[in-house]
């Protein structure tokens, strides 16, 4: 059983439990129906595949017909998918499938808004590790569907020396030195910096990427001058749609935005059943 299948099983178990007592009481077990999954607002689609897998987990005989693909921009009232099968099965799967689809489409839509806001600059929008436990792969897929870029997937695929590491090592220089002793070939080294003095030290140490954490716009401009394209620059911390453009025009390369995963509102999607 792969990770996504486990996630689906957990989600269905918490919603359906032993059975859907209301549908079982009302609906003949052999009655078939057609369900339309509809966008109630303009959105960027993400999560169609996992929604399909939810229905098939409930009943392998359900027929799923996607009308769009993940990553597509969709207007309100558009049908995302048509699903056919036993009415009881459709209702058992409905909430879990739509929950996944709403959540992931919300992330894709929010990411797309951030990306479009800085589209006149060279800046790329990154996600973070601020994801829902167990759903990181899905949420980072949704970021890609919104034209964002995945930062590291976890603690295992990039060296990122943060403030707590620096505190434990004693300095940026010492932390970098210790990484260099064990650095895996081809794995990037990023250092979090909080002051311009940190920027100078991290640059001197040869970091591939400098994260400018919670710096003011004037300090970011000064950091760009100090680095002078000798390393990539990422801005992070309290980035909003209201202030992102001020940072994007400073000459940096990336802006990481935790809000695109941890605070994206769910997209408005529903399922309508037809006998």
Rg (CA), the chain: 23
Q: Which residues contact 94 (CB under 8 A, 6 or more apart)?
A: 35, 271
Residue numbers annotated as active site: 95, 130, 162, 192, 213
Q: What is the spatial distance between Cα 176 and Cα 178, in angstroms, rounded to a whole number?
A: 5
What are phi and psi for residue 267, nearest 5 degrees?
A: -70, 150
Q: What is the spatial distance between Cα 215 and Cα 220, in angstroms, rounded to a whole number?
A: 6
Q: Where are the alpha helices (DSSP H) in 160-275?
A: 163-169, 172-182, 196-204, 217-227, 244-248, 259-262
Q: Are 102 and 268 in contact (CB under 8 A)?
A: yes
Q: What is the spatial distance between Cα 181 and Cα 176, in angstroms, rounded to a whole number?
A: 9
Beta strands in 63-208 (DSSP E): 63-66, 73-74, 79-86, 124-126, 159-161, 189-193
């Amino acid at each position: 059983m792969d990770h996504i299948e486990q996630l689906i099983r957990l989600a269905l178990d918490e919603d359906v439990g032993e059975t859907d007592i209301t549908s079982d009481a009302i609906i003949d077990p052999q009655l078939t129906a057609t369900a339309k999954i509809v966008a109630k607002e303009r959105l960027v689609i993400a999560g169609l595949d996992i929604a399909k897998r939810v229905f098939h987990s409930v009943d392998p005989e359900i027929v799923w017909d996607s009308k769009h693909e993940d990553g597509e921009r969709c207007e309100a009232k558009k049908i995302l998918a048509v699903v056919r099968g036993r009415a009881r099965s459709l209702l058992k799967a409905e909430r879990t499938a739509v929950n996944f689809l709403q959540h992931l489409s919300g992330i894709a839509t929010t990411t797309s808004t951030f990306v479009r806001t800085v589209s006149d600059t060279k800046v790329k929008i990154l996600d973070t590790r601020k994801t829902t436990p167990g759903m990181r792969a899905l949420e980072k897929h949704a970021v890609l569907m919104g034209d964002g870029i995945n930062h590291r997937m976890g603690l295992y695929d990039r060296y990122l020396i943060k403030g707590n590491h620096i505190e434990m090592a004693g300095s940026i220089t010492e932390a970098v030195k210790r990484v260099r002793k064990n650095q895996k070939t081809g794995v990037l080294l990023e250092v979090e910096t909080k002051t311009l003095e940190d920027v100078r030290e991290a640059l001197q140490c040869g970091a591939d990427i400098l994260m400018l954490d919670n710096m003011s716009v004037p300090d970011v401009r000064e950091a760009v001058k100090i680095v002078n394209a000798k390393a990539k620059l990422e801005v992070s911390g309290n980035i909003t749609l209201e202030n992102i453009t001020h940072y994007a025009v400073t000459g940096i390369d990336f802006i990481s935005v935790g809000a695109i995963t941890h605070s994206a509102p769910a997209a408005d999607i529903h399922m309508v059943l037809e006998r």
